[in-house]
Amino acid sequence: MSITVTFLDPRGKPVVAEAEPGDNLLRLGQAAGLPLEGTCEGQMACSTCHVIVAAEWFERLPLASEEEEDMLDFAAGARRTSRLSCQIELTAGMDGLTVSIPAESNDLRRM
Ligand code: FES
């Protein structure tokens, strides 16, 4: 079964991508051509994979780890529903997920 994810690019333009359970949200967004750098490749060391999850979806995702929360504190434009996309593994229950890509990102490794 495929999972449909809608990304809103930094200008708010929707980009729809199809995924399979087990796919990673960062990789899916990158494959769809979205500006998600993911510089540290999922090591939770950069926050350039930051996305803002639609409010109705935020509660339905598995909770962020403490390390992820700490890293989100440094993400540019972080909001209450921010997540690191590299930490989200897609499941069948996430069909219809919508996330926004913030206009700016911080690569902590460049600070
Ligand atoms: Fe660096 Fe997600 S890719 S924190």
What is the domain partition of the chain in residue ranges?
A: 3-103
Cα 42 to averaged position of ligand 1 atoms, centre (Å):
4
pLDDT of residue 24: 98
* 3-103: CATH topology: Ubiquitin-like (UB roll) (3.10.20)
Q: Is 78 in the pocket of ligand 1 (CB under 6 A)?
A: no
pLDDT digits (tens, 9 = 90+) for 21-42: 999 999 999 999 999 999 999 9
Region 71-93 average pLDDT: 95
- Closest C-alpha among 107, 50, 36, 40 to residue 81: 50
Predicted TM-score (pTM) above 0.85: yes
Give the distance (Å) from ligand 1 centre to CA of residue 65: 13
Q: Return the beta strands (E) in 33-108 as ranges.
A: 50-53, 82-84, 98-100
